[in-house]
Amino acid sequence: MPDPSLRQLLEYARPVREFSQAIQTAFRLIEAAQAAEAGLENAKARTDAATKEAQALEARKGKLAEEIAAEREALLKPVRGEVARLGSEGTKLRAAMQADQAAFDEERGRRASILRALDEQGKDARKRNAEEAQALRAATEEERGRLQAEISELRAKATLAGEDLGKIRAEYQQLQDAGARLFGRR
């Protein structure tokens, strides 16, 4: 037959044992909360980095647009000068042809062929200029599309980081609630 005083000691020890287990659980919850806080800070840092990267890409996009516009202007400037020069030369040659036509009727056919050749050169130059301008527009649109895709990808990353942050906050809140309930039971 067991000693009644031992049974009584076991009864007295039961609340101490339960309190010890509650303290161990509380320590585990505190450690989990600290780990969650570290994860939350890490997610905040990743979100800040993604935001900064998106801002840098926006600035880069603006700079590239300016550079493309400046390069387009630089490329179009000599073309415009050439068109103006060819137009001026064409006008001068037409005036000379008209003066020569009055003086030299026999050279009319030759001068008409020269004028046609100059007109063809002007048309070819205009056609080349239009093709170059079209190619430049296409390159600009392609670069704009690529930059938009990069920005969309960064925004998606920032959204995912925000969702991760929300999950971590929810887990942290659950841990705090569990800790509060545990300490509230005492």
**Prediction pTM value:** 0.30
Q: Quote the mean pLDDT of the chain.
A: 86
pLDDT given at position 2: 60
pLDDT bucket at 103, cuts 50 / 70 / 90: confident
Instruction: Kindly report, residue by residue over 51-80, the tens digit of the pLDDT.
Output: 999 899 888 888 988 988 888 888 888 888
Give the start-to-end residue ranges of the domains of the chain. 4-185
Q: Hey, what amino acid is at 22?
A: A
CA distance 98 to 92: 10
**Tokens at 38, concatenated:** 């570290």
Are 22 and 165 within 8 A, CB to CB?
Answer: no
Token pair of 149 as six digits: 């895709």
Can you tell me the distance from the alpha carbon of 60 to that of 154, in angstroms, rounded to the nearest whole number? Answer: 14
Q: What is the mean pLDDT of residues 159-174?
A: 90
**17-29, pLDDT tens digit by residue?**
889 899 999 999 9
Sequence-separated (6 or more) residues with CB below 8 Å from residue 39: 168
Domain 4-185: top CATH class:
mainly alpha
